[in-house]
Amino acid sequence: MTDHGTHLDQMRAQAPLVHNITNYVAMNIMANVLLAVGASPAMVHARQEVAEFAGLAQALTVNIGTADPDWVEAMALAAQVMTQAGRPWVLDPVGVGATRFRQDACARLVDLGPSIIRGNASEILALAGTAAAGRGADAADSVAAAQEAALALARRSGAVVAVSGPEDFVTDGQQSFHVANGHPMMPRITALGCSLNGVIAAFAVAAPALPATASALAYYGLAGEQAGARSEGPGGFQPAFLDALYGMTASALDAGAKVRAA
C-alpha cells in the first residue's frame, strides 16, 4: 500500500468537519491534533443537538472514556445519523473490559455499524469477548495477542478494526496490515489514542476505511517518531508532536511509512 501521501493531501484538501463525542480528558488535545492535521474539530455531546450536528459533519468519533448514560444516548443518536447517511464514524471502546456499563454501551454502539473500531490491545480483546475482565484505559496486552480477536470482531461487526500499540494492526476481516511507525513516548501522553480516532475519521472521509486507517496510523506514528527525536520527555513531546503532524508532507509520509501486508 503506497498512497498514504495522497490520502493525507486529499484529507487536507477537504478539511473535513469531524464531530467528536469524546471524553473530558481527550477534548483539548484531540481538538488540537485535528487542527494540526488540517481538519476541523467540534466537540458536541448534548443529547438535544447531536443528531442535528451530526447531519452537518463529514465524520464522527464516539469514545466512551468518561461517558454516562445520557452521553451513550447521544452517541447512539449521532451514530445512527452517520450510518444512515453512509458517512464514516469511529468507535473507541475505552476501558471496555473494566465495567458492565462499558460493555453494554459498546455492544449497543457496535450494533449501530461503526465504520472503524480503534482501541488498544486490551480493549479489542475485551470487546471481542476473548479477554479476562478488569482493565482501565491503558493496554496490558500485546498487539499480537489481539490479532485473532480483531479479525473476529471485524468479521462479526463489518467494521475495520485497528489495534494500536508498539506496532499497529488493522484489518477488515479479509485484508490486514501491520503499521510499524510510532514512538515509545506516545503511550506516556494521555489521550493520544483518542486523538488518533479523529485523524482516522478525517482520512476516512476521502478514502475507503481500510486504506484510510492504515495511512492515518502511519502518518500518526511517523509524526510520533519525529517528535520523539526532537524532545526529551512527555512534556516536550506533546508540542513537538503537534508540530510534526502540522509539518508532515505527502512525500515525507510516503518515504517514512512502514506499512506491510499481514
Ligand X SMILES: Nc1ncnc2c1ncn2[C@@H]1O[C@H](COP(=O)(O)OP(=O)(O)OP(=O)(O)O)[C@@H](O)[C@H]1O
Residue 164 is assigned to a ligand binding site: yes
Among the listed ranges 71-79, 170-178, 189-197, 252-260, the one in contact with ligand X (CB under 6 A) is 189-197
Among 16, 114, 182, 211, binds ligand X (CB under 6 A): 182
Name the region of 118 (left: φ>0; alpha: ψ -120 to 50; beta: rest). beta
Q: Using the rule CB under 6 A, which residue among 191, 199, 205, 240 binds ligand X? A: 191
83-91, 144-152, 177-185, 230-238 -> range binding ligand X (CB under 6 A): 177-185
Backbone φ/ψ region at 182: left (φ over 0), alpha (ψ -120 to 50), beta: left
Cα gap 155→174, rounded to integer Å = 8
DSSP bridge partners of 135: none
- Cβ atoms < 10 Å from Cβ of 230: 14
**Residue 191 known to bind ligand:** yes
> Which of 78-86, 191-199, 215-223, 238-246 is the region at the interface with Mg ion (rule: CB under 5 A)?
191-199
Burial degree of 26 (CB within 10 A; 0-12, 13-18, 19+): buried
Shortest distance in whole angstroms from residue 128 CB to ligand Cc1ncsc1CCO:
19
* CA–CA dist 190, 199 (Å, integer): 16
- In whole angstroms, the minimum distance from the beta carbon of 165 to ligand X comes to 5
Residue whose CB is less far from ligand Cc1ncsc1CCO, 5 or 65? 65
The C-alpha cell at 165 is 500499540
Binding-site members for substrate are 43, 191
Binding-site members for ATP are 118, 164
